[in-house]
Amino acid sequence: MFTNIFILFLVALAKGQSAADAFSTAEPLLLPSETDSFLGATQCPSVNPKLNYRPVIGILTHPGDGASGRIQNSTDASYIAASYVKFVEAAGARVIPLIYNEPSEILSDKLNLVDGVIFTGGSAKSGLYFEVAESIFKIILRKNEAGDTFPLLAICLGFELVTMMVSEHTQFSPLQQDKDVLEKFNARNQASTLQFAKNSDINGTVFQRFPPCLLKRLSTECLVVQNHMVYVSTVQASKYPVTAVQWHPEKNAFEWGLSMTPHSEAAIQVTQHVANFFVGQARKSMNRPPAQKVLENLIYNHSPTYSGKAGRGFDEVYIFT
Residues designated catalytic: 156, 248
Give Cα separations from 33 to 5, 28, 142 (angstroms): 19, 14, 51
**Cβ–Cβ < 8 Å for 284, 149:** yes
**Cβ–Cβ < 8 Å for 22, 12:** yes
- CA proximity to 279, closest of 45, 44, 85: 85
Torsion from C-alpha of 102, 106, 109, 115, nearest 10 degrees: -20
With residue 156 as reference, give the H or E element that holds it. none
**Cβ–Cβ < 8 Å for 317, 80:** yes
Torsion from C-alpha of 230, 156, 153, 311, nearest 10 degrees: 180
